[in-house]
Amino acid sequence: MGVGALAVGISGIGPVPTATAVPPTIPLMFRNASGLDKPVYIYNLGTELSTGRQGWADAKGTFHPWPAGGPVPTPAPDASIAGPAAGKSITIQIPKFSGRVYFSYGRKLDFRLVDGKLVQPAVQSPSDPNRNTLFNWSEYTLNDGGLWLNSTQVDMFSAPYAVGLKRTDGTVQKTGRLRPGGYREFYTALKEQPGGWGNLIQKAPDGTVLRALAPSHGIGTGLLPANTMDDYINRVWRKYSTTSLTVSPFADKPGVKYHGRVSGNVMNFTDGSGSIVTGFEKPDSDSVFGCYKQLSAPNDEVRGPISRTLCAAYNRATLLSSPQQPDTSSARAYQAEVTNPFAQKVHALMADGKAYAFAFDDVGNQESLVHDADPQKAYLTLDPLD
């Protein structure tokens, strides 16, 4: 999910409806276990699903639409909720939304509106007003089908947190937690990675580490070489000019298969009858890391699912080792010499190995997502920066 999107990560809106009625709001317990002696500010921003309006929700879960504004960016209304002090918790209500729960340390975030739409923070730009603020966000959708709540590193790796939910039987599902020491270990590993990967790390004026940009933003800002993945892409292109790549994009429809073969600058995919259903131009590194451009994935039943599978395979570097995709083995991911070390290190340092380290990291169920059709309570815990 790129900066500026308001839909929840990759989990989407989900099936609607279920037999159990989901209430208009559910509680979200927000716990501050960061150990930082700084004020915390919370924001619940997104799209009201019943109307399609964009806006924010207060601590009681009441929706407030953004004002209309105009073509010039103007300050958004203060949507902040005072967060808990270190070692404390608060509970807010979250409504039927598709959006983000932001949190920041030490200062409030600076949000702007253009024509009534929110301009999301884009800290890959040196001029973004939130560039020197430590913050992060989670993504969620709550609708008649239940709750989908995930952690994300699609745009950046920053202040650590975990998410969870309570089911009707009292059990709690959790994900997104780093292993002890994982936060600092990630930055150390990134700095030691050859090829300029340490350039993705951003620091505050006092030298404090704030975040590491995702590689898609690194290429876009010149922090990573534009040819970072080219060697791997070229070898994929050569391999599948003489052999076929089989993509089975639907786990619940194993009989649906598409076969890819490179011809010139295009990898064409055919269905069971041999008819070409879509084609992909040879991607560049930016397309791979961002899962867009030459790997565009429309919300359809053919190109989108194939593209999602290709994107995951490129980032995990499994296309050369397996002509049957998706390769859902986490043990076989990131084993090639050229891969996405940002995503590799995020997954390796997660307590359960799950993460949204790139846009389609849910291919093969590698994503850090909790879901339940009848959620009783949601959780977001700020973890130590160690």
Active site (catalytic) residues? 139, 155
Question: Parallel, antiparallel, or unpaired for β 324-325 and 146-150?
Answer: unpaired
Written as six digits, the tokens of 134 are: 């430590």
Output the six-digit token pair for 224. 């990573």
Question: Is there a contact between 216 and 187 (Cβ–Cβ < 8 Å)?
Answer: no
Cross-strand bridge partners of residue 173: 165
Nearest to 369 by CA among 123, 152, 216, 91: 152
Q: How far apart are the first and last CA of the chain?
A: 26
**Would you list the DSSP string of 253-312?**
-TT--EEEEEETTEEEEE-TTS-EEEEEEPP-HHHHHHT-GGG---SSSSHHHHHHHHHH
Among 335, 316, 320, residue whose Cα is nearest residue 245? 320
Q: Are strands 117-119 and 112-114 parallel, antiparallel or unpaired?
A: antiparallel
Contact 28, 380 (CB under 8 A): yes
Confirm if 289 and 274 have CB atoms less than 8 A apart.
no
Distance CA 178, CA 352 (A): 8
CA distance 59 to 254: 44
